[in-house]
Structure formats: C-alpha cells, structure tokens
Amino acid sequence: MALSADESSRLGELLTSRAEQVTQQWTEIIAGQLRGRLSQAELVRQVQELHRAMVDALGKGTVDLNGEEATELRAVLAEFSRGQARQGFSATETATGVFALKEALLAVLEVDQSIETLRDYVAFSTLIDQMGLFTFESFVRTRESLIADQAEQLLELSTPVVKLWEGVVAVPLVGTLDSARAQVVMERLLQTLVDTGSPYAIIDITGVPAVDTQVAQHILKTVVAARLMGADCIISGIRPQIAQTIVALGIEFGDIATKASLADALRHVLRLTGVETARRQPRREA
Amino acid sequence: MTSGVDLGRPQAQAVGSDEDVVRVRQLVRTVAVAVKLSLVDQTKVVTAASELARNTLVYGGGGTVEVAVVDNGRRTGLRIVFVDSGPGIADVDLALTDGYTTGGGLGLGLSGARRLVDEFDIQTTPGQGTRVTITKWSR
C-alpha cells in the first residue's frame, strides 16, 4: 500500500513544521533503546540526516519507498544500516531506530484527535514500515558481505608457508581443509619451493580436526606436485586418533614419510641433509 | 558453534554445500562428545560422517543428515542417517569395494566409513535415492 499524494505532502509538512519536536522525540526514543552505546552527538547527527532525507523525498512527492523520488532516502537508509552493522548493533536495533519515528509522530499528533489524523497516521506508518524493513535488509546485506570478507581473509591468514631451516619449508595447516583452501595451500607451497629453492617441505596437520579421504587426497596431490618439482614432502602432526582413522579408512600414504610431530619431521630432514644435531655437554662443575 | 544442542531430540542438518558438510561434522562432534565417546571413536565417527555427508552432496545431489542419541540399555551411542533422493547406487557391492570411484576420489569413502563405525546399513533404489544409517556405540 502506498501513500496518496495528499498524505505524502501532509507528512512532509508535518515533518517540516514540527521538525524540532519530531527529531527531539525520535532521538530520545532511540537513545532510550541504545542505552548510551552511541554518543548523543552521533545519534543527533544520524536522526537529523534521516529526517532531512525524508523531508527531501516527501518534497519530491514520494508515495512509495521503491519509487524513483526516494532514491536519495534509500541511500541514506542504507548508509545508516551499514554504520549500525559495522558498529555491532543488531538488526532489530537498527530497524527499531526507524520505527521509533512512529512513536515520535504519535506524540506530535496527539493534540489533535480527529479521524483524519488517524487515517494519516496509518498511512504514514506504512511508509515508515517500508523504511524499517529496508534498513533491515540493508543490514543483513552488509553483514553478509562482512562475513564473506572475513572468510576470504581467513583463507589468506590460515595458510602461511614458513621457512624452518635452510632448505626446509613448512606449512602448518589449521582447520578445515576444503578444496578452496587445499588449492591455496598447494599454490603457496609450490611457489615458496621455487622462491626459496628448498628441497624439503613439511606439511603439518596437527591443526586439522578430521582427516577424511578428501583431505587425504588433497594432501597426496600436493605431495605429488611438490615431487614433480624435485622437492620431498614429509607429513607431520599425525595424532594417534588420526592414525587409527586413516588406517580404518584404508588410506595409504605409500612411500611418503610421516611423523608424529613437527619436531620429528625437522629432525628427520636435518638427518637427511647431513646436519648433525648434538646435545651440548653439560658444563662440569669444578 | 553448535553448543546448546538439544540431545533429547534428533538433530537434522540439510546438506546442500561444502559448508554444510562442515556443519555436519561439527554437529556430529558435539553429539559424540556429549555421549562420551573416546577421542579415537569421536574422530572415527566424525570422519565417517564427513565421508557420507560428502557422498550425499556429491553423488546424491544434496539431502539431509539426522543425528540422534540412541540407547540399547547397556550402552549409549549415536545414530546418523544420511538421506538423499539422487540417482541411487546400481551396484552396492561394487560401490563398497575399496578403490572403486565414479567421482575421481580415492574410492575409500563408503567402504572406509563402514569400517569406521559399529553398524552400517545402506538402502538404495536406483533412480529414487539412497539412505545410509550408521551407529557408533560408546565403549
């Protein structure tokens, strides 16, 4: 249901003539809900901006939020919910921030209680409802894009390739190894092998909670790819429960060296490269 | 996370994407911890669930997974049912053979999952779908 042109202009008039009273009421109601989590100055600025956008939109004859005249208003609302989402407010708090305008309007209208006023109020409410729902949707969209960004960042974060020793690089895998991450890991590892000229790579799976056939296949493929480039891979971090699961599943790692811990794997590689590790003799007390 | 799972009722999880397979794993792990499975058995049943959930997704074209706590009077355990309405499996014995795959995997998922759990049941009708039920008892 949309507003009639008359209702739209009456709402615009009301918002203009009683501007101060409406924005003040509106601010107070929101402030009550947020309990000081947003500074008063910031809140006043937001409310005034919303108010101005509404007056502008109504001035252009907006009867429906989806109309062309309301483009500016939609942009302001979207900006408002983006800000709320990023500051950690809930979707409900964001939408009720808009719905609070109804209460503020009611307070202004109360003096005059004719049936026309009631009709107008219902009509105004539909527009405000539309605005509230719009902020709700924008809020959800913002949160979704935030989550998508974070997922991407996590993908980047969680796959470092570190140099352990001259000629030895390691990939500590943490979390779920799905196809996308396996691809990133393989690319990173192979690139690092070229960049550092390392003949040995250790893939540590201590942080992988479950090794199923897909994870195993990803690891095996990475090892084969590294071998094609002339590097030897060692898999470390095989805990007892993972070892038993791998056996029961029937996965065979063939001639790939596997070790229980990263330390064992490093010692194994150092021995292969001819580096001697020796415990220093404890100094004798005279 | 999946804390606050009501163990009195079976928990259902739709499987329609790779993320859902992760959710199935987390759900199964939560329930496995709650019924006090040993760490090895937790890992085994989570891995089996991961294999079967991925089969539901990749070969069954998606479906649902239901996790329930069961009790046979002596022991408690968890029962997981994987249901899809995909093409079904024409030759179950062949599908349960180590190394047999139609999807480019290792061919160990179905047969391996059977070895990871205590009870394994598969019902399939070509053209109508597949229903796999697994049970793991606490020791």
Same domain, A167 and A144: no
For B20-57, give one letter per residue: b (16+ CB within 10 A) or e: bbbbbbbbbbbbbeebebeebbbbbbbbbbbbbbbbbb
Q: What share of chain B in percent tops pLDDT 70?
A: 96
At A83, which CATH number? 1.10.490.10
In a domain? residue A149: yes
In a domain? residue B45: yes
Same domain, A111 and A172: no
Report the residue of B21, B50, B56, B96 to disrupt the A interface, i.e. the one with the largest count of A CBs within 10 Å: B50
pLDDT digits (tens, 9 = 90+) for B74-124: 899 999 999 999 999 988 999 998 888 888 788 888 999 999 999 999 999
Domain count along chain B = 1
Same domain, A14 and A137: yes
Same domain, A255 and A169: yes
Is pLDDT above 80 for A116?
A: no
In a domain? residue A50: yes
Same domain, A167 and A149: no
DSSP string of B93-125, one letter each residue: HHHTSTT--SSSS-S-HHHHHHHHSSEEEEEEE
pLDDT digits (tens, 9 = 90+) for B17-72: 888 898 899 999 999 999 999 999 999 999 999 999 999 999 999 999 999 999 98
CB–CB contact A249 B29 (8 Å):
no
Give the end of a domain, one of A133, A155, A177.
Answer: A155
- For B22, name the nearest residue in chain A, comparing CA atoms only: A176
Q: What share of chain A in percent tops pLDDT 90?
A: 23
What is the rounded average pLDDT of the residues A147-167?
80
Q: Which positions in chain A touch B25 (Cβ < 8 Å)?
A: 176, 209-210
pTM of the full predicted structure? 0.67
CB–CB contact B51 A242 (8 Å):
no
In a domain? residue B122: yes
pLDDT digits (tens, 9 = 90+) for A20-39: 888 888 888 888 877 777 78
pLDDT interval class at A286 (50, 70, 90): low
In a domain? residue A283: no
pLDDT of residue B119: 94
Same domain, A27 and A116: yes
Q: Can you read off the two tokens belonging to residue B89?
A: 């499996």
pLDDT of residue B1: 43
B116 at interface of A, judged by CB pairs closer than 8 A: yes
pLDDT of residue A267: 93
Check: complex ipTM more than 0.90: no
At A228, which CATH number? 3.30.750.24
Same domain, A140 and A233: no
At B116, which CATH number? 3.30.565.10
Report the residue of A150, A178, A181, A212 to disrupt the B interface, i.e. the one with the largest count of B CBs within 10 Å: A212
Q: Which positions in chain B touch A213 (Cβ < 8 Å)?
A: 51, 105-106, 108-109, 112
pLDDT digits (tens, 9 = 90+) for A238-270: 999 999 999 998 888 888 999 999 999 999 999
Same domain, A142 and A168: no
* Contact by Cβ (8 Å): A233, A223: yes
- For B111, name the nearest residue in chain A, comparing CA atoms only: A249
Residues 6+ apart with CB under 8 A from B51: A212, A213, A249, B109, B110, B112, B113
Same domain, A205 and A141: no
d(CA B17, nearest CA chain A) in Å: 11
Same domain, A123 and A239: no
In a domain? residue B5: no
Residues 6+ apart with CB under 8 A from A182: A215, A218, A219, A221, A222
In a domain? residue A286: no
Task: Please provide the size of chain B in residues.
Answer: 139
Domain count along chain A = 2
CB–CB contact B44 A213 (8 Å):
no
Residue-range definition of the domain harbouring residue B36: 11-137
In a domain? residue B4: no
Residue-range definition of the domain harbouring residue A57: 5-155
Q: Which positions in chain B touch A209 (Cβ < 8 Å)?
A: 25, 29, 46
CB–CB contact A249 B115 (8 Å):
yes
Distances (CA, A) of B61 to A127, A225, B20: 43, 30, 13
Residues 6+ apart with CB under 8 A from B130: B56, B59, B60, B82, B83, B84, B86, B88, B89, B122, B123, B124
In a domain? residue B2: no
- For A220, name the nearest residue in chain B, comparing CA atoms only: B106
The dihedrals phi and psi of B15, each to the nearest 5 degrees, come to -120, 110
